[in-house]
């Protein structure tokens, strides 16, 4: 089996060009899906029989939480690839993921609080799901802080990559926390064995929103990745063509 395609992905000029070409193909569908999902979630989906219109926070909270976990997993996989195969581009991917993931983890925590107050009567509990999600935020911030604190780029890559890989154990803990332990947070409605427990009219906008945010992440990641690659490819000749001097 030819591994050329894999090795090409490690080439900074190739990835830079690919990222530039792919970004609009991800960004526009992402925007369209998110707008359509907003309409579906705010207008078309009926109110919940218990939570009324309050349940509509799900269309912001669930995608934010999904982003926080998906982005961390992507970051950890990229970090592992960088450590194992010593591919600079992989470290650049991991570095690009961190700010995106951290901000959506914060959004998940804030929207969760906004949902928890009217439904559970509390803004915060040291509950397994909430606590492990907060730890995820600290892992993201720790990764970014560690990176920023080490001057040598290679050491910064490798040290922060170890943190990212070790921290990935938190991802399944967050997901299974609501089934393993007593939690205020409800059990999974979508990512579960068997049919989702939401009605179709509520589920479809949610799935559209999840897909829309995933494509959005890919688009934003590719923009950040180009910046990371340029920062690392100091005097490479291909850079001259790309930035136009």
Partner 1 sequence: MGGYAAFVWPAYAVTLAVALLNVAWARRALARSVAAARRRLAGGGDS
Contact residues: partner 1, CB under 8 A: 34, 47, 51-54, 56-57, 60-61, 63-64, 99-100, 103-104, 106-107, 110-111, 114-115, 117-118, 213, 216, 220, 223-224, 226-228, 230-231, 234-235, 239-240, 243-245
From the CB of 58, what's the least distance to partner 1, in Å? 9
Within 10 angstroms of residue 128's Cβ, the number of other Cβ atoms is 20
67: left (phi over 0), alpha (psi -120 to 50) or beta: alpha
Structural contact between residues 170 and 133, judged by C-beta atoms closer than 8 angstroms: no
Q: Is 11 helix (H, G, I), strand (E, B) or coil?
A: coil
Nearer to partner 1, 90 or 102 (CB): 102
Nearer to partner 1, 9 or 239 (CB): 239
Nearer to partner 1, 165 or 216 (CB): 216
From the CB of 142, what's the least distance to partner 1, in Å? 19
From the CB of 109, what's the least distance to partner 1, in Å? 10
Element (H, E) at 192: none
Nearer to partner 1, 80 or 207 (CB): 207
Instruction: Enter the tokens of residue 81.
Output: 């690839």
From the CB of 166, what's the least distance to partner 1, in Å? 25
For tokens 């070409």, name the residue: 21
How far apart are the C-alpha atoms of 106 and 104, rounded to whole Å? Answer: 5
């Amino acid at each position: 089996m030819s591994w050329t395609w894999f090795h090409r992905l490690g080439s900074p000029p190739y990835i830079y060009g690919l990222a530039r070409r792919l970004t609009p193909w991800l960004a526009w569908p992402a925007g369209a899906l998110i707008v359509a999902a907003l309409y579906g979630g705010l207008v078309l989906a009926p109110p919940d029989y218990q939570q009324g219109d309050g349940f509509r926070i799900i269309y912001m909270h669930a995608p934010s939480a999904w982003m926080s976990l998906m982005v961390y997993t992507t970051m950890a996989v990229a970090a592992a690839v960088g450590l194992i195969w010593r591919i600079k581009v992989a470290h650049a991917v991991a570095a690009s993921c961190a700010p995106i993931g951290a901000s959506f983890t914060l959004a998940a925590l804030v929207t969760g609080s906004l949902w928890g107050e009217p439904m559970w009567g509390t803004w915060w509990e040291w509950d397994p799901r909430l606590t492990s999600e907060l730890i995820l935020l600290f892992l993201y911030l720790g990764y970014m802080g560690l990176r920023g604190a080490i001057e040598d780029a290679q050491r910064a890559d490798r040290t922060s990559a170890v943190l990212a890989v070790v921290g990935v154990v938190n991802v399944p803990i967050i997901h299974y926390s609501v089934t393993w332990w007593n939690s205020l947070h409800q059990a999974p409605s979508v990512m579960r064995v068997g049919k989702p427990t939401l009605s179709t009219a509520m589920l479809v906008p949610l799935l559209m929103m999840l897909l829309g945010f995933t494509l959005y992440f890919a688009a934003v990641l590719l923009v950040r990745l180009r910046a990371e690659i340029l920062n690392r490819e100091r005097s490479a000749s291909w850079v001259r063509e790309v930035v136009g001097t």
